[in-house]
Structure 1
Amino acid sequence: MRHKVLGYDRSEFGNDWAVPLGSTCNTRQHVIFSQSAAATDCASESAELFDPYSQTHFPTSDIEVDHIFPLSAAWDHGAYAWDDETRKNFANDPLNLVATSRSLNQSKSDSLPDEWLPPHPAARCWYSERLAAIAAAYSLSLSEASLSTMKRQCQLGIPIPW
């Protein structure tokens, strides 16, 4: 089970999107650009983006950038013990970010796989593998319920070694 750790505040992960060295665009802009077929650079905008959760295109007016491993869940699973720099890096790590529709981001909220999965079945293994990679990269624990849910999503794909 997930145990809530007191002291979580979004600001513990930094208040702004980071601007990578040598770039004029912030992390959020880079994430949005990476999912756009029409944008020519990270500062330009296209009319729509591909949403990996729903496997559809949606208008850019509806964009939110989601932390695949939610910040509050990360706090509860070990980020409370990290230094400020590690938390800021985690919040800005492209591995942990995806542009999605506002409604899907809101429905996911701070849930992990035992509580929420992408609505499109084809996205569920991708989501599970990505979340596992994030957890491994940052030594974050996951509940048995989330691990079991994640393993079931990839039963026809490449076996996940966890």
Structure 2
Amino acid sequence: MSLDGLVVEPRHNPVDYERAAFGTSWSDTDGNGCNQRDDVLLRDAVPGSTKVGQQGGCAHDVLAGTWHDPYTGATLTFDDLKDLHQAQGVQIDHVVPLAEAWASGADQWTPERRRQFANDLDELLAVDGHANMSKGDGDSAAWRPRKDYQCLYATRWIAVKTTWKLAIDLSEKEALAQMLTYC
């Protein structure tokens, strides 16, 4: 997977984007009884730091833990993720935001393909809530993580766009190329 392997197209901004086009948030697409949010929280937590409980068919409903936010470098520790304020402190980011995917080709996908994309574990990352809100729907030209993470961010962005056959625009390609210089 390389930057040069991606299709470069002029940016288009479809006016009909709606988050709901990607299905309901946090499905259990891998059939393990837990939604993708809990799967990502467990996967991305500092090993041994999580407290989990049983919720319905989910044996690892994440209740507490510690995460190292790759975007800011901050350490995030929460003791009650059932508290909305704490739950908002660690969010699950779509590395390639859904609106960006929509503008890059997902507007042509079936609803099922969009749902799969929105819940793809390779596309999801546990991050600081404020950083995720700051990133919003920005592409790689509009938002960047801290310098020490830009190489991995660009690599992951390229992998997601390659896997899902999404296009990039010229400003996105230039930003990714610059971030790859930190590798």
Distance across 1 between alignment mates of 2:163 and 2:156: 10
SS at match of 1:45: strand
Q: Does residue 1:53 correspond to 2:64, yes or no?
A: no
Q: Pick the structure with greater CA Rg.
A: 2
Per-residue Cα deviation, 1:60-116 (whole angstroms, up to 9, x for no partner) = 421111111010111111001000110000000011111111110111000011110
Of structures 1 and 2, the one scoring higher in RCO (CA 8 A, sep 6+) is: 2
TM-score (norm: length of structure 1): 0.89
Equivalent runs, 1:19-98 vs 2, <5 Å: 19-37=28-46, 38-39=49-50, 42-60=60-78, 61=86, 62-98=89-125
CA gap 1:22/1:5 in 2 versus in 1, 3 angstroms: closer
Distance across 1 between alignment mates of 2:76 and 2:161: 28
CA gap 1:156/1:105 in 2 versus in 1, 3 angstroms: closer
SS at match of 2:68: strand
- Cα pair 1:36 1:46 within 8 Å, conserved: no
Question: C-alpha displacement at 1:45, in angstroms?
Answer: 3.0
Give the gaps of 5 or more residues in structure 2.
Answer: 1-9, 53-59, 79-85
Q: What is the aligned-residue RMSD (CA, Å)?
A: 1.6
Q: Percent identity?
A: 28
Distance across 1 between alignment mates of 2:21 and 2:96: 15
Moved more, 16-25 or 106-115: 16-25
SS at match of 2:76: strand
Give every structure 1 segment of 4 or more consecutive aligned residues whose post-TM-superposition deviation is greater than 6 Å. none
Return the structure number with greater strand share. Answer: 2
TM-score (norm: length of structure 2): 0.79
- Cα pair 2:98 2:118 within 8 Å, conserved: yes
Moved more, 35-44 or 60-69: 35-44
- Cα pair 1:19 1:25 within 8 Å, conserved: yes
SS at match of 1:3: coil
Give the gaps of 5 or more residues in structure 1.
Answer: 158-162
